[in-house]
Structure 1
């Protein structure tokens, strides 16, 4: 395998790792679900609209995700007195456990990444940053194109 194929293979492996098993948690959670749980902890009066804005997802996707998290016992819902329309979400003990693990994983991952990045000189760091920005653009553009084609908006 040449170096280009190796890089593409490793990028694919990074994308495929989208489920996490957390000890003492009954089901695997996607990264989106874990980030939703974390967002519910730090957003005051977390509702579908606030979560969608924070996570960069549609309100429909957040509604579906919150329903699943509610059914599996990670979150609870509540309403404010005098407002029977809006639903807010809070974490259960199970959700708080997931959020604590999420924080520790992010801290450890951040520090490990920082240590790896420190091994490169500034010129290499600039090349890596440019590469990652280019890859991120490809992913964004590809998803946008697929969504446009899927919804029939390909002008």
Structure 2
């Protein structure tokens, strides 16, 4: 196995371990909500003027799938829609008070998990962080270019 394969397997393995380790606590604390719903709530809270197009691009989902998701969140009373006075065509979303409660629970859990893993990150040097971040950005740009090459534009799906 070459280093490239080791790295990709290592990244997948890390991700799967994190998901497995966090899963029970997340599910217990956020009963009744799917991971996608919770992450959509997180995105809406952190990004002003969230709309179907931006959500679809961020989650690599179709606009149709995002429309279904936002409809569910609206029905659950977690988000509300609004329009700007200068653009009555576009619909945007923001969290309701109930949505902010779910967001806060999720953020607190992330903070707890971050504290748990702090010992590892305290040992990483600035140079190591810079190197890893540079790799992630470079690989992400490459994958974006491949997505574009294949004509997989999330806006049109």
Fold similarity call, TM over 0.5: yes
Q: Does 1:28 align with 2:34?
A: yes
Q: TM-score, normalised by structure 1?
A: 0.59
Report how far residue 103 of structure 1 moved: 1.6
Report how far residue 89 of structure 1 moved: 1.8
Deviations 1:32-73 (A, max 9, x none): x544312433555x3428x829x9639x85674254133242
Q: Which has the higher contact order (CA 8 A, sep 6+)?
A: 2
Structure 2: tracts of 5 or more residues without a match: none
Give the number of aligned pairs.
Answer: 143
Report how far residue 93 of structure 1 moved: 5.1
**CA RMSD after TM alignment:** 4.3
Contact 2:82 2:93 in 1 (8 A): yes
Q: Does 1:108 align with 2:106?
A: no
Instruction: Quickly say closer, same or farther: Cα 1:64–1:40, change in 2 above 3 A.
Output: same
Residue 129 of structure 1: aligned partner = 130
Between the aligned partners of 2:129 and 2:87, the Cα distance in structure 1 is 50
Residue 52 of structure 1: aligned partner = 54
Contact 1:75 1:95 in 2 (8 A): yes
Residue 71 of structure 1: aligned partner = 72
